Chains A and B, each alone.
Chain A
Amino acid sequence: MSNVLQLESPAVSGAHEAPERSDFLPYLARKAGAACMSFFMLLVVGFALFNLMPADPVSALTRGRPTSDAQMSHLRHELGLDQPLWERFLTYVGHTLTGNLGYSYEYHQSVSSLIADRIWPTLLLMGSSTLISIWLGMWLGIRAGWRPGGTLDRSSTAVSLALWSVPTFWLGLILLVLFGSGSVGGVPAIFPAGGMQTEGTGGGWSPGHVADVGWHLVLPCVTLVAVIFAQYVTIMRSSMIDERGNPYLLTARAKGLRDEVVRRHHVVPNALLPVVTVIFLQIGTMIGGAITVEVVYSWPGLGYLTFTALRIPDLQLLEGTFIIFSAAVIFCNFIADLLYRALDPRVRRQ
């Protein structure tokens, strides 16, 4: 089993520790507790990173702007920097939990409203790439796992390894220069060079606009799929190989069923289980990929927002996107834990 592509999943490790015949509620409580602790850890890390480590957040905020001492001390008081540490932490936790993620002095807008604006493009990008990756990964994984060592198996492993070994953003740059610039090897600019819609077109759900957004989505989506589909292939493949050894296959074959039917109706439904949880465990990788892909294609989502915040640097905005990304990952890990148990009756009976 490859170490690189292997998932260190909390769901899988949790399965081994699952006690005999426990009910769903204690399990739910335990997992919810772990998720809450992770979230608490996130708050501690976020607080330490953005409120303790910068020597003076106020001078970082006002960098490049003329400010008087009075304004500085007013800002300091406004941000609560003159209060004791634990009080600041409590205020921070309170603010974060109520959705107050600070104010972006660059955009002159609250961080939460900025995030609310930019979350939809990111969800669109990640959602569409996930769907395509799942479809592609399962299609390949089922066939590779059915005949391990075959041509398809070996070539898909090689492709996965090669795609794992290149940075996501580089793949994006290459696709962009090939299909978006219109100046390489006579390939016309088939796809737009960036952004989410053509300048000047209106929003809304008109077919023209939807098609335009879809057109802009192609290259970012292909890049992200290229990076994440390998995980699905690996999981689906090893799951198929595990299932292949089961005696029920012999029964099915003894009934005279064709190979195709055995695979499709007997093996695949069982082999699907691990894949479902992996979808949710993948989100960390997805977010990492989405950030760089959004930067390359100037896709106006949370990743691009993080990038612009980095260049200024706008620490409050960075902190906001960091909290949102991490909270999403923690939440999805929790969902994966629950699904794993809900879907696979064997885990419950173990």
Chain B
Amino acid sequence: MTTKPPTPSSGADAGTEAVSRPEEKAPSRWVPVWRFTVSVLRMPSGLVGVIVLVAFIGLALLAPLFIHPSDLSVTQATGPLLAPPQKGYPLGTDQAGRSVLDLVVWGARASLAIGILATLLTMILGAGVGLIAGHSQGPIGRMLMHVTDWFIALPTLPLAIALAAVLGQGAASITIAIAFTAWTGTARLVRAQVLAVEGRPFIERARALGATDTQLVTRQVLPNVMPLILVSSTLTVASAILAEATLTFLGLGDPTSVSWGSMLNTAFMQGAVTAGAWWYLIPPGIAILIIVLGFTLVGRSVEHVLNARVQPR
């Protein structure tokens, strides 16, 4: 008899049950995921968050269907210049005569893409370091943790600005800069959880059955740390979107693409403030507010559901 593969990514206790009671057949690997989703959706904040996110992501994906590239081109736009909301332009126009509504909808694409990509990168980096630091108790683990601690002391925005400035303007350098400054928190969180998981008996059992380090980490530890990574990543997307907006506003983004940060940058640089063009300034900020709140609400509901499952034990 070898160790039975544990049910992937359900509650933090899935691995324990599967291993300690091997005779019990796991019905389907998706059942716990489904049950989990339902309990998140049952929370009002979770439901609101999910609706907001689905709406925004849907709008961003479908945007090319109703916005033509020429509407977004500075030279081909046909609207009045920097005009307040009016018929045909419900949110007014920018200094080049483009509809602000179109820009906000289109901007969701870049902002979400960078936010999600940066989060993926953060999770890979942070979870990787956290897993290794938590699993190997030797000098490597200690060294990694020290490096994380020294890194955590550096202020986020100046570091991100410095990195993005050296890498040059563009979406890629912003994504890297965000991931490079955000991974430390995840690494710490994951490491703490790895230490907690490795203290449980089923790890010792797997080790006694001859599991190698790689098997232990990928098959036993990772599935149990996954829920935490999930929570952490929804919250990280929120701060990554904020960071993207800030860095792009400071002029580090791709000057040709439309994102919420670049809209505000253009508005600020082209004198929308002195012109009192509130219709140009308010929508991108509200969009950021809503999407960040959406991710935060989902993150907190997931966290709440997970805690409710783990605590009674």
Contact = CB atoms under 8 A, between A and B. Distances in A.
Interface of A: 2-4, 8, 10, 34-35, 37-38, 40-42, 45-46, 49-50, 53-54, 161-162, 164-171, 173-174, 176-178, 180-184, 193, 283-284, 287-288, 291-292, 295-296, 306-307, 310-311, 313, 315, 318-319, 321-322, 325-326, 329-330, 333
A231 to B, nearest CB: 14
A10 B149 contact: yes
B150 A41 contact: yes
A174 B155 CA distance: 26
B123 interface: no
14 contacts: A10-B149, A38-B153, A46-B162, A49-B162, A49-B166, A161-B293, A165-B238, A174-B282, A184-B278, A193-B274, A288-B157, A288-B158, A310-B161, A333-B153
B278 to A, nearest CB: 5
Contacts of B246: 167-169, 288, 292
B154 A42 contact: yes
B285 interface: yes
A2 B300 CA distance: 8
Given A162-B289, A166-B288, A329-B153, A54 B158 contact: no
B250 A307 contact: yes
Nearest to A306: B161
B285 A166 contact: yes
* Interface-central residue, A310, A330, A333, by most chain B CB under 10 Å: A310
B166 A315 contact: yes
A3 B299 contact: yes
Secondary structure class of chain A's binding surface, majority of residues:
helix
A235 to B, nearest CB: 18
B152 interface: yes
B296 A322 contact: no
Nearest to A60: B166
Nearest to A9: B152
B275 interface: yes
* Interface-central residue, A4, A53, A162, A330, by most chain B CB under 10 Å: A4
A287 B158 contact: yes
B238 A4 contact: yes
Secondary structure class of chain B's binding surface, majority of residues:
helix
B231 to A, nearest CB: 7
A8 B188 contact: yes
Contact of B251 (A54, A168, A310): A310
Interface in B228-243: 231-232, 235, 238-239, 242
Contact of B249 (A37, A167, A330): A167
Contacts of B267: 173
A180 B239 CA distance: 29
B4 interface: no
A210 to B, nearest CB: 27
Given A162-B293, A292-B249, 5 more contacts: A34-B150, A184-B276, A292-B250, A307-B250, A322-B162
A295 to B, nearest CB: 7
5 A-B pairs closest in CB distance: A183-B276, A288-B157, A170-B285, A41-B150, A165-B292
Contacts of B166: 49-50, 53-54, 315
Contacts of B276: 177, 181-184
Contact of A291 (B152, B157, B232, B275): B157
A268 to B, nearest CB: 29
B30 interface: no
Contacts of B282: 174
A330 B155 CA distance: 9
A53 B173 CA distance: 13
Contacts of A164: 292, 296
Given A284-B155, A295-B250, A50 B284 contact: no
A178 B276 CA distance: 8
* Interface-central residue, B161, B245, B293, by most chain A CB under 10 Å: B161
B185 interface: yes
A3 B153 contact: no
Contacts of B232: 3
B250 A322 contact: no
